[in-house]
Structure 1
């Protein structure tokens, strides 16, 4: 969610043709990030006392709402924080801030994908361990095809 907040900050800084291309990229990105997180959130155990006290600290609905509002909240924070700089003619300064925000956002995304998602799917998932070599090869091949497709689109 912090990644989505930084994306909102970046979007609030962009202008002109950068804004148009960034909106298209973020729309595409948020669609697939929403699908991915939706699958993860739906897979969380339900909050109940009947399962021996094993529950998620936040109900699923709260996680969904938090994901839905983080990018717009980042845009509002960015507009409030950087509007004076945009109007004072600091174009080079704003480009530097936009570049830093994009770098932070990309770094957070790489960390989340490599450490949290890939480790959860390929290292910590006992179902994939027990499956045959063909299924494991298909999973890794799908990962590589997806990474290549995202590289071409990026």
Structure 2
């Protein structure tokens, strides 16, 4: 948090996908996030706690805004991105079981030097999806 300029946290995170149905199956189905908005061929947005996970088709997000629509600047990325979800320690075993039950391969499951745990998987578009105990960012132990 940077109180000097008013930053209080991360409001949204974006990942770029090639198939909105597959993204919705993963983020909405497997992870259970509530889909809030979907525009076929362009994006699907999911509620995650007090923030949002935005999934975009990159080619569509690189097109200029249509006349009369909100003036959101073009954006997009190529290649796999990364998103990390904060998890309570006691929820990690249930998460691992849910991922395995849905046929999602666990890419890594380990503890950081400070003892916090992370589980990594890939979403259907190949993005790296991490589930971590917030303690991974115990900055006093990382420095």
Q: TM-score, normalised by structure 2?
A: 0.27
* Larger helix percent: 1
Say which structure, 1 or 2, has more relative contact order (CA 8 Å, 6+ apart). 1
